[in-house]
Amino acid sequence: MVRHSFSAMGTTVELFVEAEEASAELEAAEAEFERLEQVMSRFRPTSELSRLNRAGELDASADLADVVKCALDAKASTRGRFDATVHDALVAAGYDRTFDDVPTDAPAACEPARCGGGVAVEGTRIMLDPGTRLDLGGIGKGFAAERVATLLSLAGPCLVSAGGDIAVRGVPSTGTWPVAVSDELTLGLTRGGLATSGAERRRWRRNGVEHHHLIDPATGRPAASDLLRVTAIGSDAVEAEVLATSIFIGGLEEALAADAPAVLLTVDGRTVITGGLA
């Protein structure tokens, strides 16, 4: 098993390939992450996304158009629980720079910003309603993991983890890709994707109040959930990311009713497994 890791998209990316030699594919995979970060990052002023957010419309690359279409599909499939128009709400909550540079404590955050502005994609032209800006942090890592997994699969069965958002291609000789969800629980993944969303990391304080990065589009504030962390399984990493975020925002009761394949950690410390994973 060949392993390679590097930093990208504000997190650690780990690549695993079951092959004797995969240096060319690993190099291409790392370059692809860098290229996609330059497309999707809201923290890089020269990225395509930053140009779109400034101008309100853009003749974008096929990659940006694809990921925005994915975000629109996700919004529709989660009835608005997942929404890429949370950019201004994140900024208002204090997440206005790369997370490493966000002060852990600071004066009061701004008033919550409106979410849910109109977004349209025609071919590769993207148009935003006035005052609407996009954040692709909730979907971009999964999107990149899927793209890179496709590249890497040329060398053999592979797993791509972008800070825990995981895409796999093929099955290793052990029969499954073991992924630790917690200290006590490991899931074996054979296809599709897996992702984790939660409020236990990427937290900061404003005027003594805890904030986190998962915005509820209905309120424009960090979601007040009875879940601390959600790990979800999807047909790919993008679907898993969207599912994990929407389950987190929806809360435990809704998650139990939906019974999607997921591992839920509640704020009172219980681990609940749904969707037939046990």
Partner 1 sequence: MTSHVARLYALVAGVLAFFLAWAGVTAHPWAAKSTVTQDPRLVALTARQQRIQVESVRAQKLVAQRWALYHRALANHNTAATAAQSVAVAAPAARVVTLPPLVVTRVS
How many Cα atoms occupy the beta-carbon half-sphere of 272 within 13 Å? 25
- Does residue 186 touch partner 1 according to CB under 8 A? yes
- Does residue 226 touch partner 1 according to CB under 8 A? no
Out of 148, 189, 242, 252, the residue judged to bind partner 1 by CB under 8 A: 189
In whole angstroms, give the CA distance from residue 121 to residue 58: 10
Write phi, then psi, for 140 (nearest 5 degrees). -65, -40
- Does residue 197 touch partner 1 according to CB under 8 A? yes
- Does residue 164 touch partner 1 according to CB under 8 A? yes
In whole angstroms, give the CA distance from residue 115 to residue 85: 5
In whole angstroms, give the CA distance from residue 7 to residue 87: 23
Comparing CA positions, the residue from 185, 210, 181, 175 lying closest to residue 196 is: 181
Nearer to partner 1, 63 or 165 (CB): 165
- Does residue 246 touch partner 1 according to CB under 8 A? no
- Does residue 178 touch partner 1 according to CB under 8 A? yes
- Does residue 207 touch partner 1 according to CB under 8 A? no
Contact 191, 170 (CB under 8 A): no
Binding mask 85-124 for partner 1 (x = CB under 8 A): ----------------------------------------
Contact 148, 16 (CB under 8 A): no
- Does residue 231 touch partner 1 according to CB under 8 A? yes
Comparing CA positions, the residue from 71, 102, 135 lying closest to residue 201 is: 102
Nearer to partner 1, 137 or 217 (CB): 137
Residues that bind partner 1 (CB under 8 A): 1, 11, 14, 16, 141, 159, 161-166, 174, 176-181, 185-192, 194-202, 229, 231, 233, 235, 261, 273, 275-278
